[in-house]
């Protein structure tokens, strides 16, 4: 198993979402492109593995072409960089590049929602809750077990006969699968942000979870800093699999088992958050500003700046016009659905 070396900057780890948050100016672009390059390299390893199976040839092809080029716009008058164009495979269980982009989008959507909830219900605090089941050799069976147990936990809350979740008014959670570090067996678990006025009791949750699962009392409850909610939210919106910690064979196996399953779910105050399908950046009101376009191409294991040019702000084609085509990549323009902007 490959792991990040001790002391490695988590922002440079292709598995980490941390680098997607924060500075969006031109000085952050080299490390961003470096991170995407590592992700693309891992995607190519997965694609190479799939290419060995005749029935996976097309998928291998699709993943291997993902992110062959990246087009960024630098809105230099305000020093903001946005990913504007890319041909992406959208297979977030196979492709770390798409996983980064998807996680980043979900993180932002739920952080925005949290700001709205917080303004309406100032007594609520976010808690990070982790629920696990015992490791096992059969991923499909273990995942089903975890999924069923989580449903039962929420049913107990809804039945209103006293549950550790009784005080929880909203939650969002995601499933993650990896191999247990000791057992080498599959270890599905879930991370949840639960909103409540009082911290849910870890002891009570452990007992309730054991009575539901029959095989695990291993749970964790900890407060998320209100000053820096991002660090806690990151835990939930990182990826369903840890690409850099598992061989491509495990990545492909997990994809076969989990594809099509809902791995991110919500309840109560967090229900109904819309996740944009588009994995490119939302220009967020920058459309009118002049920009430089920077074309990167993946060559020899890394992205290299192919060329750049000064562009005028596009005046003509409204975003989302049916049939509208982006400047590069000949793909329909997505991203017309704008979420209400929330002051942060
Ligand atoms: Zn991809």
pLDDT at 151 over 80: yes
pLDDT at residue 318 is higher than 60: no
Say how far apart CA 167 and CA 190 lie, in whole Å. 20
In the reported structure, the alpha carbon of residue 102 is separated from the centroid of ligand 1 by a whole-number distance in angstroms of 10
**What is the per-residue pLDDT for 158?**
87
**Ligand 1 center to residue 299 CA distance, Å?**
16
Ranking 218-232, 274-288, 323-337 by mean pLDDT, the lowest is 323-337
What pLDDT, on the 0 to 100 scale, is given for residue 16?
A: 66
C-alpha 146/C-alpha 188 separation (Å) is 7
At residue 276, the pLDDT reads 83
Q: How far is the CA of 180 from the centre of ligand 1 (A)?
A: 26
Rounded CA-CA distance 164/72 in Å is: 47
Distance 303 CA to ligand 1 centre (A): 15
Could you tell me the distance, in angstroms and rounded to a whole number, from the CA of residue 105 to the centre of ligand 1? Answer: 14
CA atoms within 13 A on the CB side of 111: 23
Q: How far apart are CA 31 and CA 33, in angstroms?
A: 5
Report pLDDT for 338.
37
Distance 44 CA to ligand 1 centre (A): 10
Q: Residue 219 C-alpha to ligand 1 middle, in angstroms?
A: 33
Q: How far is the CA of 88 from the centre of ligand 1 (A)?
A: 5
CA of 292 to the centre of ligand 1 (A): 25
Residue 6 has pLDDT above 60, yes or no: no
> From ligand 1's centre to the CA of 66, what distance in Å?
5
Residue 325, pLDDT > 50, answer no
Section 301-328 average pLDDT: 63
Q: How far is the CA of 69 from the centre of ligand 1 (A)?
A: 12
pLDDT at residue 324 is higher than 60:
no
Three-class SS state of 127: strand
Q: Residue 60 C-alpha to ligand 1 middle, in angstroms? A: 11
Look at residue 282 and tell me whether its pLDDT is greater than 80.
yes
Q: Separation of 86 CA from ligand 1 center, angstroms? A: 10
Closest CA to 82 of 311, 286, 306: 286
Res 243: pLDDT: 85
pLDDT exceeds 70 at position 213:
yes
The mean predicted confidence, pLDDT, of the chain is 86
Higher pLDDT, 124 or 230: 124
On the question of pLDDT at 219 being above 80, the answer is: yes
* In the block, residue with structure tokens 């095989």: 215
């Amino acid at each position: 198993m490959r792991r990040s070396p001790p002391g490695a900057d988590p922002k440079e780890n292709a598995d980490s979402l941390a680098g997607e948050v924060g500075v969006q100016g031109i000085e952050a672009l080299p490390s961003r492109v470096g991170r995407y390059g590592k992700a693309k390299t891992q995607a190519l390893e997965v694609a190479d593995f799939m290419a060995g199976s005749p029935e996976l040839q097309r998928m291998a092809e699709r993943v291997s072409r993902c992110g062959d080029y990246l087009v960024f716009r630098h809105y230099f008058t305000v020093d903001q960089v946005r990913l504007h164009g890319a041909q992406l495979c959208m297979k977030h269980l196979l492709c770390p590049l798409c996983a980064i982009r998807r996680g980043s989008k979900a993180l932002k959507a739920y952080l925005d929602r949290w700001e709205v909830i917080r303004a309406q219900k100032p007594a609520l605090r976010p808690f990070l809750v982790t629920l696990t089941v015992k490791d096992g050799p059969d991923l499909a069976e273990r995942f089903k077990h975890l999924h069923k147990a989580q449903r039962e936990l929420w049913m107990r809350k809804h039945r209103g006969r006293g549950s550790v979740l009784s005080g929880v008014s909203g939650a969002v959670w995601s499933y993650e699968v990896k191999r247990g570090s000791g057992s080498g067996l599959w270890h599905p678990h879930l991370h949840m942000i639960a909103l409540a006025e009082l911290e849910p009791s870890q002891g009570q949750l452990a007992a309730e979870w054991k009575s539901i699962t029959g095989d695990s009392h291993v749970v964790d409850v900890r407060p998320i800093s209100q000053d820096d909610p991002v660090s806690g939210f990151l835990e939930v919106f990182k990826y369903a699999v840890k690409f850099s910690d598992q061989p491509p064979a495990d990545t492909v196996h997990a994809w076969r088992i989990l594809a099509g399953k809902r791995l991110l779910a919500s309840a109560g105050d967090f229900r109904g958050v819309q996740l944009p399908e588009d994995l490119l950046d939302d220009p967020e009101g920058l459309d009118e500003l002049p920009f430089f376009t920077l074309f990167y191409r993946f060559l020899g294991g890394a992205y290299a700046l192919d060329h750049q040019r000064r562009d005028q702000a596009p005046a003509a084609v409204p975003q989302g016009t049916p049939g509208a085509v982006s400047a590069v990549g000949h793909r329909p323009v997505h991203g017309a659905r704008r979420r209400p902007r929330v002051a942060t």
